């Protein structure tokens, strides 16, 4: 990800206004820190974080703005070391040395307790981004962990509060004149003990005026990490509320103007299609159904990128399978097959369908029911029509999708045959979909 990426470069999901509102809240009159930016995996949180960082710098060049990838740093086992190293890297040399001097005692104590379980493990990890002085502190902590006695550790506990207060004073001095904003990304991908420790370190050491923490995470996963550490009898949301002042959810849709609502993943698909000749053909000839599938299955931005990449691969393998001469039913089967190949069981359609396999396919495609009593053709999702085509030979083995009577079945079957026409005289939609899936795995 480009560190210089800004909303001026691109803002196809119209998120700049969200970032601008966040920046407005980063002031002493608003008790906002720590602030959480919540979003599901693959919703573009990291890109938003980098753009937010650069927007803060653009609006207030005097601010100290730090971006930390917590997932890359959780091997260090010390959240305090991770944050302190990031702060040290942006300081002028004189301030840096003073800060390190104050930080080392607190870090050394924390590292001792970690290293007792496996002394020296941290030293074998990447240390390129750590200040040299911090590396020395870790070595000393490692030696103390190996040789230390209970008496020494108790003495360290007595000194710990004094060291932490000294570090807090140093942080206050650094941020007195200039706002310090620390964005911690990928918190949900860290080891559970590390992600929860970060919350505790922020609360107990960095709860300082003019220092603002923005935590970028999937709060559902963060709550799972809390329960992993403290047990499922704990109310993880209440625990989280002790540390978090405010939460902003990153939306997966936005309004263009006053009335129209757009899903970010659909806009992303359109952008990908615009930039690729293969995908442009697919968008031209079956784009509405691709967009419907993305919306119906609620694909994230990351999943949309995966889907688009696989569509491009198969279009290349099949030497432009989707053209203006391709039968409509085959275009639909093509995108469904690629979707199953991406996100489902590639062997799902190889065997005879069962009630269980029909449920699996329905859950994958987010088909809740077959609307046998539809009023207009346009009201029926094309994805549902293809789903019906796949399971129609086994329609009665799953009560969830079986019609109530023959009249219902005939009505929907007539609708289906308008799309199928006579293109499956010697085959079925199920077998042809499976053929496409296997071809994508180079199995013919």
Instruction: Look up the CATH superfamily of 16-251.
Output: P-loop containing nucleotide triphosphate hydrolases (3.40.50.300)
Say if CB 254 and CB 264 are below 8 A apart.
yes
pLDDT digits (tens, 9 = 90+) for 349-370: 999 999 999 999 999 999 999 9
**Which residues, including other chains, have CB under 8 Å from residue 277's CB and lie 6 or more apart?**
none
Say if CB 70 and CB 187 are below 8 A apart.
yes
Residues 271-289: what's their mean pLDDT?
A: 94
pLDDT value of position 64:
93
pLDDT value of position 117:
39
pLDDT value of position 118:
37
Residue with more model confidence, 119 or 3: 3
Residue with more model confidence, 146 or 52: 52
Dig out the tokens for 231 from the structure.
């047990």
Sign of CA dihedral 388, 393, 397, 402: positive
pLDDT value of position 244:
94
Residues of the chain with CATH 3.40.50.300: 16-251
Mean pLDDT comparison of 149-158, 315-324, 360-369, highest-scoring range: 360-369
pLDDT greater than 50 at residue 162: yes
pLDDT value of position 104:
80
Task: Provide, rounded to the nearest whole percent, the portion of the chain with pLDDT above 90.
Answer: 54
pLDDT greater than 70 at residue 306: yes
**323 half-sphere exposure, CB direction, 13 A CA radius:** 6
pLDDT value of position 81:
85
Rg of the chain over Cα atoms, rounded to whole angstroms, equals 28
pLDDT digits (tens, 9 = 90+) for 17-52: 999 999 999 988 888 999 999 998 888 999 999 999
Residues 146-150: what's their mean pLDDT?
A: 48
Q: What is d(CA 114, CA 137) in angstroms, rounded to the nearest whole number?
A: 13
pLDDT band at 122 (very low <50, low <70, confident <90, very high): very low
pLDDT greater than 90 at residue 135: no
pLDDT greater than 60 at residue 444: no
pLDDT greater than 90 at residue 170: no
pLDDT band at 281 (very low <50, low <70, confident <90, very high): very high
pLDDT value of position 423:
63
pLDDT digits (tens, 9 = 90+) for 331-345: 999 999 999 999 999
**Average pLDDT over all residues of the chain:** 84
Q: What is d(CA 69, CA 80) in angstroms, rounded to the nearest whole number?
A: 14
């Amino acid at each position: 990800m480009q560190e210089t990426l800004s909303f001026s470069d691109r803002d196809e999901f119209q998120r700049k206004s969200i970032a601008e509102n966040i920046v407005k809240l980063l002031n002493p009159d608003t008790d906002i820190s720590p602030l959480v930016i919540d979003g599901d995996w693959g919703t573009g949180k990291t890109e938003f974080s980098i753009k937010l960082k650069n927007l803060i710098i653009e609006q207030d060049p005097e601010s100290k703005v730090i971006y930390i990838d917590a997932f890359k740093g959780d091997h260090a086992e010390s959240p305090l070391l991770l944050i302190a190293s990031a702060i040290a890297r942006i300081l002028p040399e004189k301030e840096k040395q003073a800060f390190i001097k104050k930080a080392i005692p607190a870090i050394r104590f924390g590292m001792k307790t970690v290293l007792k379980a496996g002394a020296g493990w941290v030293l074998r990890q990447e240390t390129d981004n750590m200040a040299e002085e911090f590396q020395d502190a870790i070595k000393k902590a490692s030696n103390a962990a190996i040789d230390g006695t209970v008496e020494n550790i108790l003495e360290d506990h007595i000194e710990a509060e004094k060291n932490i207060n000294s570090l807090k004073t140093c942080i206050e001095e650094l941020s007195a004149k200039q706002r310090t904003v620390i964005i911690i990304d990928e918190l949900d991908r860290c080891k559970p003990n590390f992600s929860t420790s970060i919350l505790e370190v922020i609360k107990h050491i960095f709860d300082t005026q003019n220092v603002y923490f923005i935590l970028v995470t999937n709060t559902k996963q963060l709550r799972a990490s809390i329960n992993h550490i403290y047990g499922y009898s704990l109310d993880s949301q209440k625990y989280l509320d002790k540390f978090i002042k405010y939460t902003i959810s990153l939306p997966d849709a936005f309004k263009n103007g006053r009335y129209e609502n757009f899903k970010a993943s659909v806009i992303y698909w359109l952008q990908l299609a615009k930039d690729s000749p293969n995908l442009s053909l697919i968008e031209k000839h079956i784009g509405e159904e691709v967009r419907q599938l993305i919306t119906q299955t609620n694909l994230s931005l990351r999943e949309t990128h995966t889907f688009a990449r696989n569509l491009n691969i198969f279009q290349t393998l099949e030497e432009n399978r989707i053209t203006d001469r391709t039968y409509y039913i085959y275009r639909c089967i093509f995108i469904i097959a690629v979707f199953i190949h991406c996100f489902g069981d590639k062997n799902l359609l190889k065997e005879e369908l069962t009630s269980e396999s029909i449920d699996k396919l329905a859950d994958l495609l987010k088909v809740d029911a077959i609307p046998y009593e539809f009023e207009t053709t346009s009201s029926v999702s094309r994805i549902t029509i293809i789903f019906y085509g796949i399971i129609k030979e086994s329609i009665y083995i799953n009560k969830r999708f079986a019609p109530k009577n023959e009249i219902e079945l005939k009505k929907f079957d007539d609708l289906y045959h308008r799309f199928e026409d006579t293109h499956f005289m010697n085959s079925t939609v199920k077998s042809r979909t499976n053929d496409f899936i296997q071809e994508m795995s180079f199995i013919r």
